[in-house]
A = this chain, B = another copy of it.
Amino acid sequence: MKKYNGYLIDLDGTMYRGTECIAEARDFVKELHRKGIPYLFVTNNSSRTPAQVAEKLQSFGVPATAEHVFTTSQATANYIFERKPDASVYVIGEEGIRTALEEKGFTFAKEDADFVVMGIDRSITYEKLAIACLAVRNGATFISTNADIAIPTERGLLPGNGSLTAVVAVSTQVQPIFIGKPEKVIMEQALKVLGIPREETLMIGDYYDTDIMAGMNAGIDTLLVHTGVTTKELLKQYEKQPTYTVDSLREWMDRI
């Protein structure tokens, strides 16, 4: 049986569901930590900083520091930095994406920005969308942290960043570059941070359309855990199956 030397792990639906910790996942990560096997949490959440995410994981007893968290906001900031280190950006989004862009030293601009970046923004306004449209029409490169169409909440499924992004995409008729899962952009960067070769790394997640497809798109073996979105029933509909499936991460403990 193949052993993996590094793990990329999804958060929502894999490590917790909303405010509820998934105990088997916590125990699994504790075991990785005990054995000194590198792991990195990879999330499409652009609203929180790595430190904020780590704090939540710690509160569940999961061994995690900010360095164990890789967000789509960090991937977005890296992506822009690789192309134009002195870029000006116009950003729609919350603390996570703003902090990630600030840390790279980008300047902030409006209609004349080099890049327009959209992440989930629950304080969205028409004026913010208007500036984004004007900047994209002026030639800014249009980037969106992730294409998630909905966010699960206790009220039901609320609009995700992919649906907010549609305002600018539809109005300008320019399609954004998406960074988050299932795109391989975030996965390639996460592999670099993890520091383990692709073929020795396993991607773990609960959602076929983002986590598993991201792994496949990046040529990484995948493990689907049925603790979140993609049930066994749903999984049957997909032609290309994950490398492995488990009901909970308890089943993977002896594979570490």
Residues of B within 8 A of A126 (CB): 121-124, 158-159
Binary per-residue interface labels of chain A (133-149) against chain B in the complex, 1 for a CB within 8 Å, 0 otherwise? 11001000000000001
Asked whether, in the complex, the Cβ of A167 is within 8 Å of the Cβ of B166, the reply is: yes
Number of identical protomers: 2
How many residues of A are counted as interface, with CB atoms below 8 angstroms from the partner's CB atoms? Answer: 31
Residues of B within 8 A of A163 (CB): 129, 133, 166-168, 170-171
Asked whether, in the complex, the Cβ of B158 is within 8 Å of the Cβ of A134, the reply is: yes
Residues of B within 8 A of A169 (CB): 166
Residue of B nearest to A148 (CB): B171
Most chain B CB within a 10 A radius of its CB, from A157, A160, A166: A166
In angstroms, Cα B159 to Cα A172, docked, is 8
Asked whether, in the complex, the Cβ of B150 is within 8 Å of the Cβ of A171, the reply is: yes
Residue of B nearest to A127 (CB): B122
CB A109 to nearest CB in B, in angstroms, measures 16
Is the CB of A125 closer than 8 A to any CB of chain B?
yes
Interface positions, chain A 155-193, Cβ under 8 Å from B, are 155-160, 162-164, 166-173
CB A116 to nearest CB in B, in angstroms, measures 13
* Closest CB pairs A-B (n = 9): A163-B171, A166-B166, A163-B170, A122-B126, A166-B170, A159-B171, A130-B158, A163-B167, A149-B171
Interface residues, chain A, CB within 8 Å of chain B? Answer: 111, 121-126, 129-130, 133-134, 137, 149-150, 155-160, 162-164, 166-173
Please name 14 further chain A to chain B contacts, defined as beta carbons within 8 Å, in addition to the given A125-B125, A163-B170, A163-B171, sorted by A numbering: A111-B156, A123-B126, A124-B125, A126-B158, A129-B163, A133-B150, A134-B155, A134-B156, A134-B157, A134-B158, A137-B156, A137-B157, A150-B172, A162-B170
